[in-house]
Amino acid sequence: MLDDISYRVKVPFTLTLVILITACVVTLALTWRAYEELREDAFHNAVEIGSVLSNSLPNAMLHDDLWGAYRLVQAAKGWQGEASSRLLVVLDKDDLIYVSNRPSELAVTTPLRSHGAELARVEVEVLRLTGNLDPRSYEHKNDQRLYVILPMLSDGVAIGTLIVGYDRSLFWPRFTSIVEKVVVSALVVTVLLLPLGWFLGNRVVSPLGQLTKCMSMVGHERPAEIVCNLRLGNDEIGRLGVSFQKMLVELEEKEQLEINMLASERLAAVGRLVAGVAHEINNPLGGMLNALNTFRHYSQTDDLGRETFSLIERGLQQIRDTVSALLVEANPRSHSLSPKDIDDIRTLLLPDVNRKSIRLVWKNEIAENIPLPSTPIRQLLINLSLNAVQASYEKGMVQCSVDSKNDILSMRVENEGPEIPKDRMMHLFEPFADGATGNGLGLWVTYQLVHLLDGNITVNSKNGKTKFKVELPIGEAM
């Protein structure tokens, strides 16, 4: 249930709750403090009364001057505004009431316990603490009053006890006013903090929400097409964003890899098929051509016959050309690749480039001969660069760059012509693929050549640019 609620609600709600709880706890603490202070005040007030009476009252008691004691107690009653409900009781050494400021209720010579349960408890407390000469407070939760018990000393000996009772109801106005202030301040603070809590909560949660939104797109859309405006950083959410972006990149790479693997497997199968078929065709074809040749040399035939044989020979020749075009083979006799080989290709391109007013950017960064066969490399570079020129718009730009680094020969060919559609991309390197121009074998041958040289070829067509990249490992010297 709680798990189903969005963090957008939960986090600010929790913050709000924390603020409210804090406010409550602070309120309680301050309220408790206020109550304690009131109690302390009462205690100090009682001790003050006790010290003021400590000279005269024991003297009056010693001389059994009840009226004098009563007048002292009466005078003590009038010292403060709240005094009307302050109870003062003097007990004699037998713990009977010697005098009080409420003589009509607390009759002289009666025991405290005869005046209700509350005073009975006080009497128990007085008896319990007999011998303790320090003032002490006494409180019972059901009592109407707080009590402070002060022994009355004469020459260091307790001759009676002064009990000062403070009506709790008197504390209420002071107490409630303090509590009121505390509660109002807590409310103000809460009201000020709540929007802040919501703001902070949302700030924390909104990247999570964004992340959730992005994650839910994974599986439905290509990783490369998922655009997320994630906060990147070093905190947890930032790191999550970074990881997520990394994951997207890796997913994309994996997907690309899968596509590539699928394509190369298919191409390999096609290659095997083509080689097998070509072989099966080439054998009878060679025989047929030989037979035809022999026949032409040694036989007498009329014009129609010659024309027919010539027609058959041309047809067979075309089959052989096609088959040999499909059967790509590296010529092991080719010399190693020199910088000039690359530049020659540029020269070969120039007529087409000029015709279409194309701007050709040519970067040949090979400084010396490279131990790779020049013929297939020339072949594939010609294929790629001619394709690029053909695909380019008039006055477009074509870039070719060749370099060798870390035993890798890299060739990049880039044009700004129309992008290769997605469905064609899947079958780009297959022979006679749909939409292919020319004889439909240019990229097939290129692909086969790259594989013969243990290299790989990638194509990337987006943002108005189509880029072929060939990487060939440079082996030992040929």
Partner 1 sequence: MPTEYVKRVLAACVITVLSISNTANGLAGDTKEYRIGLTSVIFADGTAFVNDWRTYLTHHLQAPVKFVQRQTYREVTDLLLAGDLDAAWLCGYLYLQHRDELELLNVPLFKGKPLYHSYLIVPSSDTKTRKLTDLKKKVFAYSDPDSHSGYRYPQLSLISAGIEPKHFFAKTFFTWSHRDVVNAVADGVAQGGAVDSYVWETLAEKDPQLSRRTRVVSKSPEYGFPPLVTQRGLAQRRADNLREALMHMSSDDMGSKVLQILNLDGFTVGNDDLYNNIADSIRIVEQGG
Q: Which residues bind partner 1 (CB under 8 A)?
A: 64-67, 70, 99, 102-105, 107-109
Beta strands 97-100 and 86-92, pairing class? antiparallel
The total number of residues shown for the chain amounts to 478
Smallest gap, in angstroms, from Cβ of residue 110 to partner 1? 9
Tell me how far apart the alpha carbons of residues 286 and 281 are, in angstroms, rounded to a whole number. Answer: 8
Spell out the alpha helix ranges (H) of 218-235.
Answer: none
- CB nearer to partner 1: give 105 or 225: 105
Smallest gap, in angstroms, from Cβ of residue 116 to partner 1? 17
Single-letter code of the amino acid located at 119: L
Tell me how far apart the alpha carbons of residues 123 and 116 are, in angstroms, rounded to a whole number. Answer: 11
Which helix (H) or strand (E) covers residue 194, if one does? helix 168-217
Backbone angles phi, psi at 108, to 5 degrees: -60, 140
Smallest gap, in angstroms, from Cβ of residue 103 to partner 1? 4
- CB nearer to partner 1: give 103 or 339: 103
Which helix (H) or strand (E) covers residue 165, if one does? strand 157-167
- CB nearer to partner 1: give 11 or 99: 99
Tell me how far apart the alpha carbons of residues 182 and 30 are, in angstroms, rounded to a whole number. Answer: 7
- CB nearer to partner 1: give 103 or 396: 103
- CB nearer to partner 1: give 112 or 384: 112
Smallest gap, in angstroms, from Cβ of residue 52 to partner 1? 21
Smallest gap, in angstroms, from Cβ of residue 63 to partner 1? 10
3-state SS of 319-337 is: HHHHHHHHCCCCCCCCCEE
- Expressed in percent and rounded to 5, the helix, strand and coil fractions of the chain are 60, 20, 25
Smallest gap, in angstroms, from Cβ of residue 100 to partner 1? 9
Distances from the Cα of 403 to the Cαs of 285, 397, 471, in angstroms? 42, 20, 10
Which residues is 167 bridged to in the sheet? 145
Smallest gap, in angstroms, from Cβ of residue 78 to partner 1? 14
Does residue 395 come out as left (phi exceeding 0), alpha (psi in the -120 to 50 range) or beta? left
- CB nearer to partner 1: give 110 or 293: 110
- CB nearer to partner 1: give 70 or 138: 70
- CB nearer to partner 1: give 163 or 326: 163
- CB nearer to partner 1: give 96 or 397: 96
Smallest gap, in angstroms, from Cβ of residue 119 to partner 1? 16
Smallest gap, in angstroms, from Cβ of residue 104 to partner 1? 3
Residue 79 CB contacts under 8 Å (≥ 6 apart), including other chains: 49
- CB nearer to partner 1: give 96 or 275: 96
3-state SS of 102-128 is: CCCCCCCCCEHHHHCHHHHHHHHHHHH
Smallest gap, in angstroms, from Cβ of residue 73 to partner 1? 10
Residue 108 CB contacts under 8 Å (≥ 6 apart), including other chains: 66, 97, 98, 99, 100
Write out the two tokens for 405. Answer: 């680094």
CB atoms within 10 A of CB 248: 22
Lookup result for tokens 């963090």: 7
- CB nearer to partner 1: give 109 or 317: 109
Smallest gap, in angstroms, from Cβ of residue 50 to partner 1? 21
- CB nearer to partner 1: give 104 or 229: 104
Tell me how far apart the alpha carbons of residues 262 and 426 are, in angstroms, rounded to a whole number. Answer: 9
419, 461 contact by CB (below 8 A): yes
How many C-alpha atoms does 124 have within 13 Å on its Cβ side? 8
Smallest gap, in angstroms, from Cβ of residue 113 to partner 1? 17
DSSP type of residue 96: B
